[in-house]
Amino acid sequence: MDINNKQKKKRILIIDDNKQIHLDFKKILLISKEKKTDLDKLEQVLLGNSERLQHDKYIIDCAFQGEEGLKMVEKSLKKNEPYAVAFVDVRMPPGWDGIETISRIWKIHPDLQVVICTAYSDYSWEEVIEKLGYSDNLFILKKPFDNIEARQLAFALSEKWELTKIASLKMSDLERNVEERTKELNEIKTRLQNLYDYAPDMYFSVKPDGTVLSVNQFGAECLGYTTNELIGESVWIIVYKDDLKRVQKQVSEIFSKKLIKSELEFRKTRKDGSIIWVHERTHLFLDNDGNPEELLVMCRDITERKQAEKALRESEERFRTIFKTAQDSIFVKDLSLKYTQVNPTMESIFGLTASKLIGLTDDDLFDKEAALHIREVDSRVLKGEIVKEEHTKKVKGVSFTFHIIKVPMRDSFGEIIGLCGIARDITERKQVENTLHEKINELQLFYNVAKDREARIIELKKDINELLARLGEKKKYGV
């Protein structure tokens, strides 16, 4: 039944072996709008708006025996036109009595409002209850009955039946909505549980005494355990022994000071004995009295980050050592080509401390021509080029020749933020090279002179041999 289309004509079933009773009920319940008797006036006083009562017409069907009444109820249910109220006589020989009839009808139509009509004390109320059970759908009308009383029962019980059906439909809708919502919530719960179990972080919940209340699947596996191996155990079994006291102190402060949010970094020991670094964020839950109840721990493995930080520190330390002890000049410039870092070797070349060199440009250190050349080279480096060159510069009137390598410096996003240069003083090497070149030239000249002289001597020896031959003498030189 559509709860928004309230049934206007209520169906009433009369089950009585007396035809006159059928006629009496029809006269009482099927009131004509035109008539307005003293009975109507009294009814208006008792029931309120009699016009509404007259408007709410009934469809009345009659049965003479219980079996016939049961079949009519079955037929009405199949047609989806159920009866709202049944007036049932107790004595209906030779068939079922009223109590038996009601019992059978209620098995197929338990919502039917039933009025037992009786002129005798065939059954006590206790006996009726014993046979039919307690029900708020059951009422008794003593014969001979009052017309107003019968009309009251018909009106009130048919309304009650209607409202009961509406409430039942609403309850069915509510139950269906609850079932659908429960299904959705269970699906959400499953997704959240999967997210909790397999999120790439470790999740723990810990009691104030350190007992593990829960751990997600990923967290347990990351530490080499199963969830069952950790739940119920002390959380301290997975803390690295050298960090244990410090972490216990920090956690104790979280509970004692009721720190809702906090962060920790320390090492944990996996089941196989290996060590991992973790970063933990915690959230403290309090009970209704404000006392610490549970600590939720969100833990991330930062071992790789720690290893990278260590490698970076070691690399930086090596760089600082090289930077300070290198025999070459090492310097760093920003995008405006100002010096931001210089090493001691460069300080000694210019005779200035690092604090005085930092912030200067090459215009402050070299002559105009050299500074212009350096700016041209540096601009190429800031565009991404690696430059190697040899260049002679004057520093405090003294000429120096440098072998220079300049490379661009980039940030983590690959953007160029400056340049780094290494300048090696090769002045002495160049002087040695020049001296060697001069010696080589002299030797070459000497060689050329010596070579010409030897050729002339050979020719002279040949001439002497020829003259001796003309004289008939033996050759003196074997050339």
pLDDT tens-digit map of 143-184: 888 888 888 899 999 889 988 888 888 888 888 888 888 888
Mean local confidence (pLDDT), 125-147: 84
Chain mean position to CA 397:
68
Parallel, antiparallel, or unpaired: how do β-strands 85-89 and 10-15 relate?
parallel
- pLDDT of res. 131: 83
Residue 53: pLDDT band with limits 50, 70, 90: very low
Most confident of 365-369, 437-441, 466-470: 365-369
Instruction: Among 3.40.50.11900, 1.10.287.3510, 3.30.450.20, 3.40.50.720, name the CATH number for the domain at 326-425.
Output: 3.30.450.20
- pLDDT of res. 349: 84
Residue 3: pLDDT above 50?
no
Residue 340: pLDDT above 50?
yes
- pLDDT of res. 372: 93
Is 52 in contact with 58 (CB distance < 8 Å)?
no
Mean local confidence (pLDDT), 35-63: 61
- pLDDT of res. 31: 63
Q: pTM for the whole thing?
A: 0.49
- pLDDT of res. 41: 57
- pLDDT of res. 192: 76
- pLDDT of res. 425: 83
The CATH number of the structural domain formed by 199-307 is 3.30.450.20
d(CA 372, CA 472): 81
- pLDDT of res. 379: 95
The lowest-confidence range among 8-17, 320-329, 344-353, 432-441 is 432-441
- pLDDT of res. 397: 67
- pLDDT of res. 185: 86
- pLDDT of res. 187: 84
Give the count of beta carbons closer than 10 Å to the beta carbon of residue 316. 11
The lowest-confidence range among 128-132, 257-261, 360-364 is 128-132
Considering only residues 347 and 6, tell me which one the structure prediction assigns the higher pLDDT: 347
The lowest-confidence range among 100-104, 199-203, 306-310, 456-460 is 456-460
Rounded to the nearest integer, the mean pLDDT of the chain is 85
- Two structure tokens written together for 64: 């003479």
Residue 72, CA atoms < 13 Å, CB-side half-sphere: 21
Considering only residues 198 and 322, tell me which one the structure prediction assigns the higher pLDDT: 322
Percent of the chain scoring above 70 in pLDDT: 86
d(CA 247, CA 58): 81
Residue 51: pLDDT above 50?
no
- pLDDT of res. 44: 57
The lowest-confidence range among 116-120, 374-378, 474-478 is 474-478
Strand partners, 341: 332
Considering only residues 445 and 17, tell me which one the structure prediction assigns the higher pLDDT: 17
The per-residue pLDDT for range 449-477, each reduced to its tens digit, is: 666 677 777 777 777 777 667 666 677 77
Strand partners, 118: 142
Q: Which CATH superfamily is domain 10-171 in?
A: Response regulator (3.40.50.2300)
Considering only residues 186 and 289, tell me which one the structure prediction assigns the higher pLDDT: 289
The per-residue pLDDT for range 188-244, each reduced to its tens digit, is: 878 877 777 777 889 999 999 999 999 999 999 999 999 999 999 999 999 999 999
DSSP for 431-447? HHHHHHHHHHHHHHHHH
Please name the helix (run of DSSP H) or strand (run of DSSP E) that holds residue 204, with its range, or none. strand 202-206
Considering only residues 34 and 249, tell me which one the structure prediction assigns the higher pLDDT: 249
Per-domain residue ranges of the chain: 10-171, 199-307, 326-425, 442-479
* Equal CATH topology for 199-307 and 326-425: yes
- pLDDT of res. 34: 46
Mean local confidence (pLDDT), 310-322: 87
DSSP letter, residue 239: B
- Return phi, psi of residue 3, to 5°: -70, -15
Is 417 in contact with 410 (CB distance < 8 Å)?
yes
- pLDDT of res. 5: 44
- pLDDT of res. 101: 94
Burial (CB count <10 Å: 0-12, 13-18, 19+), residue 242: exposed
